[in-house]
Amino acid sequence: MSHKKIWAILPLALLCACSSKYSGSADSTPAPTAKANNTVSADSVNFSTDITSPSRKIIRTAYFHCRVDNVYTATSKLEDMVKATGGIVQESKMETTMGEQKTLNYKPDSLKHVQVYQTTSNLTLRVPVAALDSFIHAVPAMSAFIAERSLKQDDVTLKFLSNSLKNEPGKNDYAGHALKQAKKTNDVITAGQYEADKKEQTINRKVENLQMLEDVSYATVNITFFQPEQVDAHIIVNADYYTRPTFGTQFLSALNEGWQSLRGFLVGLVSIWPFLLLIVAAIFAIRKIWWKKWDEVTNKI
């Protein structure tokens, strides 16, 4: 082959080699082995500019607000499904809200209590991303009515990359340089405090990246189940019937109440005897005056 042909092919070969190298570093992220250090993975700087690439750090969340025929059955079924797929039930809370209630006469010694209630369940599930689509389709399948449905994908790749780049070793070693140049005690203390603050920031960024890796691997699914209002009717004891006194007791009690009333009336009369005396005196005086006038009228006639 002539030298001219070699020089013509060389640029094309270099272009292919560079393209292959970029594709391998940008579009694929090596899968961590079982013995991989989480701290090392938290400082990874490999990512792809393609938002659909598996190497992107996507946090997925979902929310459902659904009506089901039976809250307890739907909740138990979903909890079992989460455990079977390798996820966890982060929170599961079931509660019953009481509505209108009435107490009706049923028999002389019993009553019927009627209570309207509604049961709801709130779940927070951590689901492996691989099983998220199954959950998204399973929840509506077991629901009679979907009041609200929300799916969200939050891309934190750039935030993850920013933390990783800031944590690269040997970058911005201002504290070490300041310690070498420090000549006074205050300068050494200030440089030491600066170094401690930087280390703390580095640790916080690593922990934040680890949290993002966990959220990327496990989607968060919040679900609220509710069922139509139900009626609970049951028979209760009529306490008034069993605590009501007998006829003899009521009769004696009535006699005693009458006697006490009479005593009270007599005592009341005695306590106002001065007023009664004045009333009697007034009556006699009025009668005397009236008879006197009557006699005068009679004599004139």
Q: Which pLDDT does position 19 carry in this prediction?
A: 35
- For 49, the domain range is 31-234
Within-domain flag for 205:
yes
Q: Which pLDDT does position 269 carry in this prediction?
A: 79
Q: Which residue is associated with the tokens 């000549």?
A: 183
Cα separation of 156 and 42, whole Å?
13
Within-domain flag for 166:
yes
Q: Which pLDDT does position 167 carry in this prediction?
A: 82
Tally of domains in the chain? 1
DSSP label of 109: T
Q: Which pLDDT does position 201 carry in this prediction?
A: 85
Q: Which pLDDT does position 34 carry in this prediction?
A: 36
Cα separation of 95 and 146, whole Å?
20
Cα separation of 95 and 226, whole Å?
10
Within-domain flag for 272:
no
Within-domain flag for 285:
no
Within-domain flag for 292:
no
Q: Identify the segments of the chain with pLDDT beneath 50.
A: 1-40
